[in-house]
Structure formats: structure tokens, C-alpha cells
Structure 1
Amino acid sequence: MSFADDLAKYCQAAGDKVDQLVRDTAIGLQASMMTKSPVDTGRFKSNWQCGLGGMNPDTTAPAGSDALGRTEVVLQGYKPGQTIWLTNNLPYAKRLENGWSQQAPSGMVRLTVQDFKYAVKRAADAMK
């Protein structure tokens, strides 16, 4: 079975809760990237952003702020068909993703993307 088939199966099983499945999956993905983020001052981990229909370019979140809480608030406005953007726009984000930190030598985003199928499954299972 392909990933697309699996995704269709999860969405069908979610029925009228597909929007919640999408939101919960996005929150899980954001949490995964945050967990995998290297921490020096905490500014990078706090600057994960969520945008709907386009990238949220903000880079002003102070260290220790609740990036996941902000993501949850943004996702409350999610409408079916919108693209959800999960980004970190700090100037050194690409270097960190490419192994610049010994705390995250394999990055954060690419590891989370590899786990996407399981993130959807976890969100679907939690809805049962």
C-alpha cells in the first residue's frame, strides 16, 4: 500500500473529523520538530511558526515562548483545502537543518518528514 492509499484510508476513517485529523497531525509534526531542535538559548526552538495559506515570516518569538501553543491557536482557523506551513525563519535554521549543531546532526525537518505517515496514524488512532 502506498502512502497516498494510507492517507486516504485514515481520512476516510476520520469521516467528518478529517479537519481535526489534519490539525492534530500538524500539531504532532510541529511538536516533533521542536523536540528535535537543538537548544542553546532556546530562541530557535521558540521560533517555530505556523501559517495558513502562506508562510508566517515571524522571527521575534523570545526564548522560552510557547511555539506549540501559537501553532494550536493558528490551526483553530484552519479551513479544508488550506495549506499549512510549519516553518522556522531564523537566519541559521537552514544550517541547523543541515547538521550544524551536534545536538541535531541529522536535522529536524527531514527526520519529521520521514515520520509523516506515522504522525498521521498517531493522530487518527488518538481520534478513535
Structure 2
Amino acid sequence: MAGFQEEVAAWVAKTNAKMELAVRKIALDVFSEVILMSPVDTGRFRGNWQVAIGDVPAGTLEIEDKDGTATISKVQAATMGLEVGQTIYLINNLPYAQALEFGSSRQAPGGMVRLAAQRWQPIVEKVAQELSRS
């Protein structure tokens, strides 16, 4: 019976690893969409997306990231530590963030967060398909 227990334990470990990978990839994909949909003038707004696990980030950053590369890299680094059951936050604390989300920019009239939230299910399905092949 030890062989069966070992097989079950291996299956559980593999399943847990896939779940963590899925959670990380979904967070990265959704957050990347938000960042890349963010309107760009100087790049300050795009560069002020902050990510944290467990705690809501406070304050603002003095960074300009017009193409989003640096900000997405920070998100990618943070998601590497994400585990199933944890809460991950993506926050933009600039005073005009809410106005931009609710249509004050011609570049993003539908916002960023709301549009990414609408894409949640397709993103989850895509990640699930990718992981089912492995």
C-alpha cells in the first residue's frame, strides 16, 4: 500500500504546483493587461501601478514607465511569491487614477481595471488550457 500512498502524494504535489502556477500566471496576465491598457502621457500613471501580496500598497512612486516594461517586471517578481489562498493587490494611488478608470482619458475611455475584469474568465480559461497540456 505504500506505493499507492506515494502515488497519491505525488499527484497531490503535482496538482498543488499546477494550482500555484495557474494563480501566478492569471495574476500576471490580468495585471499586465491593466498596466498596458493604462493611458500614457509622461508614463507616471503606468509606472505607479504597485503590486503586493497580503497588504495594500500605500503612497505613490516617482517613476515614469511609458512602455510598462519595468512595472510588469515588478508584477512578475511579486507573483513568483504568490501562493494559493493569498491575496494579491494591484493599486495605483495617484490622485487622478479613479478619474482615468472612469473615462477621463481618450486613450482609455472604458478604464483599465474594469476591462481587465471583464476578461477574467477568458484569461483563466486560457491558462487552464495551457496547464492541461503540461
Q: Same fold (TM over 0.5)?
A: yes
* In the alignment, structure 1 residue 74 sits paired with structure 2 residue 78: yes
User: Could you list the runs of 5+ residues in structure 2 that have no partner in the other structure?
Assistant: 1-13
Question: Separation in 1 of the partners of 2:92 and 2:130?
Answer: 27
Structure of greater Rg:
2
Question: Separation in 1 of the partners of 2:56 and 2:62?
Answer: 15
Report the equivalent of 1:15: 15
Question: What secondary structure, in the 3-state scheme, does the structure 2 residue paired with 1:66 have?
Answer: helix
Aligned runs of 1:99-110 on 2, under 5 Å?
99-110=103-114
User: Could you list the runs of 5+ residues in structure 1 that have no partner in the other structure?
Assistant: 1-13
Question: What is the CA distance between 1:85 and its match in structure 2?
Answer: 0.8
Corresponding residue pairs, total: 115
Question: Separation in 1 of the partners of 2:58 and 2:77?
Answer: 16
- CA deviation map 1:35-80 (0-9, x unaligned): 2111000111111111111212242151126111101111122122
Aligned runs of 1:54-93 on 2, under 5 Å?
54-64=55-65, 66-93=70-97
Aligned runs of 1:34-73 on 2, under 5 Å?
34-64=35-65, 66-73=70-77
TM-score by length of 1: 0.82
Question: What is the CA distance between 1:87 and its match in structure 2?
Answer: 1.6
Aligned-CA RMSD value: 1.6
Question: Separation in 2 of the partners of 1:86 and 1:110?
Answer: 13
Match of 1:125 among 117, 126, 129: 129
